A = this chain, B = another copy of it.
Amino acid sequence: MREDRNAPRRQNVKGATNRPEETRMSDLPKTVEIIEVGPRDGLQIEPRILTTSDKVRLIDALADAGLKEIEAGSFVNPKAVPQMADTNELFDMLNRRPGVRYRALWLNPKGLERALSNGKVDIDGKLTITASETFIKRNTNRSIDETFAEMPAWIQRYRDAGIATNSIGVMAAFGCNFEGYIPEERVVGLVARAMQVMADNGCKLENLSLADTMGWGSPAQMKSLVGKIRNKWPDLHVKLHLHDTRGCAVANAVAAMEVGVSEFDSSVGGLGGCPFAGHKGAAGNICTEDLAFACGEMGVETGIDLDALVEAAKLAEDLVGHQLPGKVMKGGTLTRFKDHHA
């Protein structure tokens, strides 16, 4: 049993009461899958460049804490993102744990080629679109139409590598600092359009990732947009990529769970930031251990060892050299009060 360093030092708490079963909300999923994106989405904004071996230590710690899918790096221009310059070496050095998928990001055909030639990257056939015309142009130098026009070529590239394209991510799905709130019908329309492109090119959209890239969403918006999409396409698997820019991330995840979402991206320690917030201290992705804590307290299984994850968050804090926004890592877990420790 790991010890919670932040808690009073009492291993056997006299008269301790375990979480009552009655607090389980019946409309929550039984299990939630958490995808760790800290080593990529989190680290990429950090000014201190970590050594490859330190990144491997962090990724190993995350896998050992029970995370089954980890975004380990990105095959992007090293001049644009110096922190990710060693992604190829990183994948060569990873101590792969059985059953864990190690993913990466790429933005252009060259990046995909590098990921494919590395040979150790778990590659999904995933397309990406952005719900804001202004933002997609600033971020990718392409319009929404141009991005759709390029999709058949991407599908072919994946097919050439033996990979079926079955996923799309919609960035800025709730709001955009440049355009304001994103109308829900626009997101629904983008999903329908991607679905058609995939069908026209011999594949099928099965997984949708809705990204609240700039932290605009509220619990009400989660329920409303996800509800609309699930009503329209009940078989579509919806994942959320949440940012905590305005403090709603955990509330948004809980609201999404209440309408059936069972998969989330998150970042250990809340590692990362928001390049669009205009404040270097702005929060980044939803914090992995805070999300896992909330799940655990509501009886939703994540397969995560929360004490081990907090140790990984403390390692991340040491590696980047400044305090991370995660709360559980400072407030302490409650695992010693659970049944199996009683």
Q: Point out residues on A near B: beta carbons under 8 Å.
A: 5-8, 13, 15-20, 22-25, 28, 134, 175, 177-184, 215-216, 218-221, 223-225, 244-248, 250-251, 253-255, 274, 277-279, 281-283, 287, 290, 293-294, 297-299, 323, 325-328, 330-332, 334, 337
What's the dominant secondary structure at chain A's contact region? Answer: loop
Looking at A183, A218, A326, A328, the one whose CB has the most chain B CB atoms below 10 A away is A218
Q: Tell me if B328 and A325 are in contact (CB < 8 A).
A: no
Pairwise interchain contact B281-A323, C-beta atoms closer than 8 A: yes
Report chain B residues within 8 Å CB of A177: 7-8, 332
13 more contacts with CB within 8 A, not counting A247-B287, A254-B254, A282-B331, are A5-B278, A6-B279, A6-B282, A13-B180, A16-B181, A19-B181, A20-B184, A23-B220, A180-B337, A218-B298, A245-B327, A246-B332, A279-B331
Lowest 7 CB-CB distances: which A-B pairs, in order? A16-B180, A247-B290, A247-B327, A218-B297, A245-B331, A251-B251, A220-B298
Q: Is the CB of A183 within 8 A of B328?
A: no
Are A18 and B180 in contact, with the CB atoms below 8 A?
yes
A282 contacts B330, C-beta separation under 8 Å: yes
Question: Across the interface, which residues of B come within 8 angstroms of A216, CB to CB?
Answer: 334
Query: In the complex, what distance in Å separates the CA atom of A245 from the CA atom of B7?
Result: 12
A246, chain B: closest CB distance, angstroms: 5
CB <8 Å contact, A246 and B180:
no
| A6 touching B297 in the complex, CB below 8 Å, given contacts A28-B220, A245-B331 | no
Contact B215 A15 (CB under 8 A): no
Query: Whose C-beta in chain B lies nearest to the C-beta of A9?
Result: B278
Looking across the interface, which residue of chain B has its beta carbon closest to that of A274?
Answer: B331
Question: With contacts A19-B181, A20-B183, A247-B290 known, is A220 near B331, CB below 8 A?
Answer: no
Contacts of A325 in B (CB 8 A): 325
Collect the chain B residues with CB atoms within 8 Å of residue A245's CB.
327, 331-332
CB–CB A17/B180 < 8 A: yes
Q: Which residues of B contact A134 (CB under 8 A)?
A: 15
Do B246 and A327 have beta carbons less than 8 Å apart? yes
Q: A25–B220 contact, CB under 8 A?
A: yes
Chain B proximity of A175: nearest CB distance (Å): 7
Q: B331 and A246: CB pair below 8 A?
A: yes
Checking B6, B17, B298 against A179 with a beta-carbon cut-off of 8 angstroms, the contacting residue is: B17
The answer to whether B330 touches A224, judged by C-beta atoms less than 8 angstroms apart, is no
Cβ–Cβ < 8 Å partners of A279 in chain B: 6, 330-332
What B residues does A331 contact at CB under 8 A?
A: 215, 245-247, 274, 277, 279, 282-283
Which residue of chain B lies nearest to A13 when distances are taken between CB atoms in the complex? B180
**Do the beta carbons of A283 and B247 come within 8 Å of each other?**
no
* CA A215 to CA B294, docked complex, whole Å: 12
Q: Are A278 and B6 in contact (CB under 8 A)?
A: yes
Residue of B nearest to A283 (CB): B327
Q: Nearest CB to that of A216 among chain B residues?
A: B334
- 27 A-B pairs (CB sep. < 8 Å): A6-B282, A7-B177, A7-B278, A13-B178, A17-B179, A17-B181, A17-B182, A18-B181, A22-B184, A23-B223, A25-B219, A177-B332, A180-B337, A215-B331, A216-B334, A218-B294, A218-B298, A219-B298, A246-B328, A247-B293, A248-B250, A248-B293, A250-B251, A251-B254, A251-B294, A254-B255, A282-B332
